[in-house]
């Protein structure tokens, strides 16, 4: 899936560097997903609040 996940050469320093790069990439992906998920959750909460307010005003009329 990700090109850097292919095996690097067998030298131990290269493997350490490769794993460090993988870890940093995965952390970046996680942070990006968390940010997007927070935005989606906020949008859902806003829509639910607006719908509840509309229902309350329709029932009061």
Say how many CA atoms lie within 13 Å of 12 toward its Cβ. 0
pLDDT of residue 12: 77
pLDDT of residue 60: 84
Backbone angles phi, psi at 40, to 5 degrees: -65, -45
pLDDT tens readout for residues 7-54: 555 667 899 999 999 999 999 999 999 999 999 999 999 999 999 999
pLDDT of residue 52: 96
- Separation CA 25–CA 43 (nearest Å): 27
pLDDT of residue 6: 57
């Amino acid at each position: 899936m990700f090109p850097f996940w292919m095996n690097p050469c067998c030298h131990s320093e290269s493997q350490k560097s490769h794993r460090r790069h993988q870890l940093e990439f995965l952390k970046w992906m996680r942070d990006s997903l968390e940010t997007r998920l927070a935005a989606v959750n906020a949008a859902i909460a806003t829509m639910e609040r607006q719908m509840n307010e509309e229902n309350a005003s329709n029932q009061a009329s």
